[in-house]
Chains A and B, each alone.
Chain A
Amino acid sequence: MTLRAQVYEALGTVYDPELDEPITTLGFVGSCVVAKSDVSVRLRLPTPQCAPNFAFLMAADARAAVLTVAGVRSVSVVLEDHYTGEEINGAVNDGQRFADAFPGETAGDLRALRELFQRKALLARQSRLLASPATTLGELSGPDADRCRALRRALGIDASDDAPAFVTGDGTPVAASDVRFRRMASLTALSLDTNGGMCRDLLKTRYGEEVAA
């Protein structure tokens, strides 16, 4: 595998925290250039006014992901055409925090925000698994189940094979037949899917038809 392919694969592990989808499939990676061992990534979003906090997380996560690839010496991540691009690019490429990018405009770091959306993502993912009769996580398989495991691990919720198959956003075990849980899970999934669809449409309007699937 070429270094560029490895770098692109690493970018595929970066999720839009709000949509729970990889930035590569969303079309947010405008370009990825590898010159010897120096990487340059350009990110682009559906609108110039996309929320700065999520934009920062994606840019910082992209940088961190590329730096884990063996053979990469340096990486530059540039968020294009965004109204806080200058602040975000400066801080991300210096390895600084969100608060450094927006001094005086934050009350904390972005951990709580990320966690909130991981809980929503977990709820939404489970809505696609509700048809399964599984009672333990080990009985669930496929991409959605794998993503549930990753989200549970990130949130400190038991992700072992013996753990309960379904949990609420805060990790409380719940039966797949629980009507309230089913309703909330499908509503949250609809919300994420709708937002993802709108982001795709707006990105296409902004950058034309060449945008990835």
Chain B
Amino acid sequence: MYEKDGEKYFVLDGHTHFWDASPANWKPGAEEYAKGWIECFHAYMGLGPPETHWTLEHFQKYSVDDFEKDVFEDGHVDMAILQSTYLKEWYRNGFNDIEQNASILDRFPGKLILNGRWDPREGEAGLRQLEADHAKYGFKGVKLYTAEWHNGSRGWKLTDPEAVPFLDMCADLGIKNIHVHKGPTIWPLDKDAFDVADVDHVATDYQSLNFIVEHCGIPRIEDFCYIATQERNVYAGIAVVVGAHMHARPKFFAKLMGELLFWVGEDKMLFGSDYAIWEPKWQVEGFVDWEMPDDEAFTDYPRLGVEGKKKIMGLNAAKLYGVEVPAEFQVAGTPADPTAAVGVEG
């Protein structure tokens, strides 16, 4: 819970990890990729305030006590979604596979939401695994990472025919929140790996599923915004928008927020810290304090008030995940119909 100026915010951090990227977990033969990946993440941490930077060694592997302190004690977070990222071609036990994430569930009863994952290239075996993971953990969401390497393939798209049975299974099992994370590789390599057009197609085909596009499709936020106006069930995960910009480039942050508020709307934006890339504390505090600048360059953008901030910090995600939020955190009136939160006509 975070309280500021008499207002209480229920903080549901939509994007956290409990990873192990220490050298002991680097896969023999793939050390250079494992090392490069975590060093790249560590560089992103450099975009946050200096006093929140960690050493690379600490960043590679942090403890459950660190998680507790950074997220729940200091970070103002009431509940956090743990996203699974496998990268098993680079990390022996995976970067943070579902078992690794699940290992801390018992420590924080009622405070963690565990998400699964799937990869269409795993075919029938992958479907059975998804079924088994769901039976074991009963998750309501998955995180999909399209740049994952698999048996010589360097990526996939949501519109690949192999993805259909997986999306069908999600619809059948009630795994309704599909977090999509685009990365630098995709098959074929000559296409734009960050293209989010595939989300548009599947969002139309699977109306019972919600598609949360992580970091708002950055570096393709323009395409993402355009899609989000067309599709009722497409949401913006604003991790990275906050972490990489609010401190490092506040003017850009204000413009990015302005565009998101205009095109996507405050009912369809979900806060995420992307811990451990960035700690939640400074992001929660900074976001609640943030105001759209008054100068002329920002006059075209909608304003974000206390109600909107409460929705983005937690109420929107709580709705998607069926989390009951005590009345003291609620905003007056019913949140607007997501279909109304559209800036311009398609």
Contact = CB atoms under 8 A, between A and B. Distances in A.
Contacts of A106: 188-190
Contact of A49 (B36, B47, B244, B263): B36
A52 B187 CA distance: 12
B189 A47 contact: no
A107 B256 contact: no
A183 B218 CA distance: 18
B259 interface: yes
Contacts of A108: 188, 190
Nearest to A180: B344
B221 to A, nearest CB: 5
A190 B259 contact: yes
Interface string A168-202: 00000000000110011001101101110110011
Nearest to A189: B222
A105 interface: yes
A71 interface: no
Nearest to B39: A48
A6 interface: no
Contacts of A49: 36-37, 40, 183-185
Contacts of B220: 191
Contacts of B191: 53, 107, 113
Contacts of A117: 192
Nearest to A19: B219
B46 A194 contact: no
Contacts of A50: 184
Contacts of A99: 190
A190 B343 CA distance: 17
28 contacts: A18-B219, A46-B43, A48-B36, A49-B184, A50-B184, A51-B185, A53-B193, A83-B32, A83-B36, A105-B154, A105-B187, A106-B189, A107-B188, A109-B190, A113-B190, A113-B191, A120-B222, A179-B344, A187-B225, A187-B263, A190-B221, A190-B222, A190-B255, A190-B256, A191-B219, A194-B219, A197-B248, A206-B43
B192 A47 contact: no
A205 interface: yes
Given A46-B43, A108-B190, 16 more contacts: A49-B183, A49-B185, A52-B189, A53-B189, A53-B192, A98-B189, A98-B190, A108-B188, A113-B190, A190-B252, A190-B256, A193-B252, A194-B256, A197-B249, A198-B218, A202-B40
